[in-house]
Amino acid sequence: MKVSYKWLSEYVDLRAISPQQLAEKLTSGGLAVDGVEPRNQGVTGVVVGVVQEMERHPDADRLNVCQVDAGQGELLQIVCGAQNVKPGIKVPVALVGAKLPGDKEIKRAKLRGVASSGMLCSASEIGLDTRLLPQSQTSGLYILPDDAVIGTDIVEVLHLDDFILDVDLTPNRSDCLSVRGLAYEIAALLGTNTTFPSEVSLQLPDAPSPVRVQLESERCVRYDALVLGNVGSVPSPLWMQMRLMAMGVRPIDVIVDVTNYVMLEWGQPLHAFDAGTIAESTIVVRQARPGETLITLDGVERHLDEDMLVIADPVKAIGLAGVMGGANSEISLGTTSVVIESARFDAPSTRRTGQKLGLRSEAQQRFEKGIDPAAVRNALLRATQLLIELAGGQVSGGVATAQRDVGASTLSRVVKFSPSRCRDLLGCDIPDEVMRDLFRNLGFTVTLEGAEWAVNVPSRRPDISLQADLVEEIARLYGYDNIPSTLPTGPVTTAARDARQRLLEHVRNALVTRGMYEVRTYAFTSPEVYEALGLEEGHPLRKMIPLAYPMSDERRVLRTHMLPSLGEVARHNLSHRVDGGAIFEFGRCYEAREWPIQTQPREREVIAMMWFGSVPDSLYERARAYDFFDAKGAIEQLVTGLGIAVQYERAQVSWLHPGRSAAISSNGVVIGYVGEIHPSTAAAYDLQTSVYAELDVEMLLQQRPGAATVEALPRFPGARRDLALLVNKDVLVGQMLNEISKVSQVHEILRSARVFDVYAGQGVAADQKSVALALHFGANERTLTDAEMEEVVQDVIASLQDKFDARLRA
């Protein structure tokens, strides 16, 4: 927010404080000022002059010899090459000895033999920002209005004796997007009063308005309109143009300039329509209709949807509410009657409309952050005052209004405040009277209610709703430098990590040791990215919780699954010439417990992992695509270190390949999934063959043993027996190992079993496969005999034969 120091000084007495000191004061009070820039870029000795006579240079076709009256008692002869120079125009005249921006000094000179005593100046030569000027004023001389007094210093005429403060506002301080809000803020910081009017008084005709207003959408709670006649598209006065330019706004004409001026002054955006273009003299605030289009003021045809709020008449849309007006109701040279609009539009709706259409305006910025309801009518009346004063406008009837925000609750709120609690929180003994004065300086009303105060907060401060907000106001106005540093008091306990933190630290170390990289992604996403997961209608993962104030259309809901988040990281890396990688994230997914939402959602913490692209070349292996077993190996190393025994079962989830994925379970409870990403899902995220795995943190904590069991190393040698069994191809090897584990619970000497080969081909029936198993035996107190190991081997064979129709391979 750029703001004029001189404009602020009209409402707060700043004679005792310089612009730089004011910037320091605002910064110390929580409103950081990024810079203070003088409007005068080094102009001295430049005055208003009028070209009295002009003739061609005798020796140069493109030069003119001008006789200029600059209020010096005699005409000055100045040679000028500007194409728009002519007798009768008033322009800035740099006298001999004058200085211009860039340390340029004007001296007497001879141009092609003709003496020149000064220089006629363009806008850029006197330091004006030509980006904010009309095209006619950016080339050639800068033409001054006819009422400019000859001989007057141009710094005074163009109000260049000013400073611009660039205030970096935090998102919660929308009240300071106006001179009004900053005036109250500065007055509070300086301990003085502001003269900014609380209300605008204007006598309106005692007659109904020529226009009618209808609210047909819940997204507009207040709409006021006033009709003015005898108003045309003429330039605004120079002082207003210069003030707008100081704030970074381009002057257009008196009608548009007044609406912009009042927006900067009051913080309330306004818009002006050509009254003659409004059908049936009726304004309708409604949602856009399917397939409706509107050509906006920038000349672009916009395709609207039903989520967009529009201003319309009974026939057509004439503007995008809070964003931009329509070309079909634009003020033109033939305009004689205008309708001035002042309204409160829904902030999220305004933001979404601007984002969808790629539009951004000063008005939209203010509507997005919320409008002060007390400023709606006052800003409209203030604009009417200025149009009457500056353009001779004539009011036609009273204010046409429609509203849903009736009631005092919309204009102020009462917040409870405890002075003693404030002192405890700040660690500073601030007297009650000082706190009461600080609130009064802010324009707050304080009512005593015993030990507590009732602080009445005006509607211009929407950021204050809690006692903590009032405590913050006391702290910053009292001065952070005046609050002493104090040590917190209370019992001191030895810091220790809880079970969850210890588990996540183990997981992080295990995965990083395997060469994986930890990433952090947004918990915000959009519903569209979940279409790739192949979820059926009504699936719980489709029930995403929307954000009240999304940062963008791509970040408008809370995620329900981690795959899209990691897929975004993988796609970004692959598109930036990274061959592949292995990544993981500790993230939260948010699941609604009921729909519509009535209670807090469930936050499910997940360890999500992804392997994408290819393994890089190394001394030990050539580049290859990551596969299922890379993920399975990482998971087994991870859960083994946690002391958790897991089993793998065939998974049936839509986002994983049906034949190359598995559900991970422990003690009959599913704790996660691992598998190759379904080809259609991978294609939607611009990925080739990729592998995804996830583990539920809560389930891991439940399955992790409370204490580790330590066993001595065996004193007696173990033994191994190998079996080759023929089974049907559909039999899962994991199920065979589970069955063997049941046998080991009966025979303690069977310590473990593993698969070291699976074969299908020549010598084996087409519908069968050969599974080679290694059985490991051992005992703590003796050497095993062949007979007792053979007994266990036969039990294993019998169990597998009974369960899977397995038989020894010949």
Annotated binding site: 463, 469, 472-473
How many Cβ atoms from other residues are within 10 Å of residue 671's Cβ? 21
Alpha helices in 427-562 (DSSP H): 432-441, 467-478, 499-513
Question: Cα separations (Å) of 351 from 114, 308, 320, 347, 639?
Answer: 61, 10, 12, 6, 47
Q: Where are the alpha helices (DSSP H) in 392-538?
A: 419-426, 432-441, 467-478, 499-513
Q: DSSP string covering 274-287, please?
A: EGGGSGGGEEEEEE
The whole-angstrom separation of Cα 610 and Cα 565 is 10
* CA-based end-to-end distance of the chain: 86
Length of the chain: 810
Residue 455's SS3 state is strand
With both helix axes pointing from N to C terminus, report the angle between 373-391 and 254-266 in degrees, rounded to the nearest 10: 140
Evaluate the omega torsion of the peptide bond into residue 596 and state whether it is cis, within 30 degrees of 0. yes
Q: Look at residues 608, 394, 641, 633 and name the one whose alpha carbon lies nearest to residue 521.
A: 608
Q: Report d(CA 631, CA 647) in Å as an integer.
A: 14
Q: Which helix (H) or strand (E) holds 403?
A: strand 394-403
Q: 307 with 320: CB under 8 angstroms?
A: no
CA–CA separation, 342 vs 201, rounded Å?
16
Residue 173: which of 70, 285, 29 has the closest Cα? 29
Which tokens sit at 24?
Answer: 């320091």
The angle that helices 419-426 and 467-478 make with each other, rounded to 10 degrees, is: 60
10 Å CB burial of residue 704 (0-12, 13-18, 19+) is: middle
Cβ count within 10 A of residue 657: 18
Helix axes 238-246, 254-266, angle to 10 degrees: 50
**Binding residue numbers for Mg(2+):** 463, 469, 472-473
3-class DSSP state for residue 52?
A: strand
Strands 412-417 and 317-320: unpaired
Helix (H) or strand (E) holding 271: strand 270-274
**What DSSP assignment string belongs to 524-566?**
EE-GGGGGGGTPPTT-GGG-PPBPSS-SSGGG-EE-S-SHHHH
Report how far residue 82's alpha carbon sits from residue 104's, in angstroms, rounded to the nearest whole number. Answer: 19
State the CB neighbour count (10 A cutoff) for residue 623.
12
The C-alpha atoms of residue 61 and residue 313 are separated, in whole angstroms, by 57
What residues are paired with 335 via a beta bridge? none
CA distances (Å), origin 677, targets 84, 417, 578, 810: 70, 56, 19, 39
- Check if the beta carbon of residue 742 is closer than 8 Å to that of residue 799: yes
- Alpha carbon distance 5, 166 (integer Å): 10
* C-alpha–C-alpha distance, residues 141 and 122, integer Å: 4
Cα distance between residue 139 and residue 141, in whole Å: 7
Residue 544 in 3-state DSSP?
coil
Q: Which residues contact 481 (CB under 8 A, 6 or more apart)?
A: 28
State the DSSP H helix or E strand holding residue 723, giving kind and residue range, or none if neither. strand 719-728
φ and ψ at residue 638, rounded to 5 degrees: -65, -50
Packing angle between helix 362-369 and helix 347-357, nearest 10 degrees? 140
Question: Which position has the token pair 């301080």?
Answer: 173
